[in-house]
Amino acid sequence: MPFEIIDFHTHPFSDDETNICIYQSHCRLKADGIRDELHALGISRIAGSVIQTKKSGIESDWQRLSRWNEDALRLRERLGDFYIPGFHVHPGFVEASIREIHRMKREGVRLIGELVPYLSGWSDLLCEGFDAILDEAERCGMVLSLHTDANAEAMDEMVRRHRGLTVVAAHPGERPSFLSHLARARISENYYLDLSGTGLFRHGTLLTAVKEMGANRVLFGTDYPICAPAAYVGGVKDDPFLTDEEKALVFAGNAKRLLAL
């Protein structure tokens, strides 16, 4: 059966600086070709934040994140309904982050992230500033997409403090990290997992996530343009152990529910 596919975890780009494909010289990905490339694979919509791996010495952390956020809004103008923007916040700039939450809410944007702390100059998930930002995010009905290479204990405590916030963890990781995601999902019913990066790397990861967390808490994501989206589409579509109903939830149903599409 044909499936609607929403890629919940991407990092679209408008120029070479924000194109984070590590093999640009050969892939030759172009900003104006994103939609056609992914449509050809059956992906009808994408979500995610703009990021840049190389840091400019003349910008503060907040200036850089603000520029990425503006890039995301401009990309939405260019790509239309195909692109659902995600935006950045920073615990070192609490007031500015909260203003950004309210501005994005007015813009009809409800996705924070994917946040990638190590690229943004911070790391403490339990700091007072991040707590304040997540409290406001919850009040505003935001969805948080978070890079999850932080230590498991910090992630556990963050989720305990903010059980009412929808948190989508990026990258299942290798077995120890993946098992910690499954355990964390028992802390909060609002904890989800996307498949980007390592989600299909080990045989059985997807099936285990669906059976342990429930198909309604696993989202399709690729981490494009870092990872090859065709591998992820095929990995879910051709999985012999999942039902069509489970695949439909993973591919698009859950993203549509969380983002009110």
**CA dihedral sign of residues 124, 126, 131, 137:** positive
pLDDT of residue 24: 82
174, 120, 183: which is closest to 149 by C-alpha?
A: 174
Q: What is the pLDDT of residue 25?
A: 81
Residue 57 is predicted with a pLDDT of 67
In sequence order, what are the beta bridge partners of 143?
111, 166
pLDDT at res. 16: 81
Sheet holding 83-87, edge to edge: 5-7, 43-48, 83-87, 111-115, 143-147, 166-170, 191-194, 218-219
pLDDT reported for residue 54 = 75
Q: What is the pLDDT of residues 177-222, one digit of tens each?
A: 999 999 999 999 999 999 999 889 899 999 999 999 999 999 999 9
pLDDT of residue 53: 82
Residue ranges for the chain with pLDDT beneath 50: none
pTM (predicted TM-score): 0.96
Tell me what pLDDT residue 56 has.
66
Domains along the sequence of the chain with CATH: 5-258 (3.20.20.140)
Rounded distance between C-alpha atoms, residue 155 and residue 28, angstroms: 37
Fill in the amino acid letter for 87. Answer: F
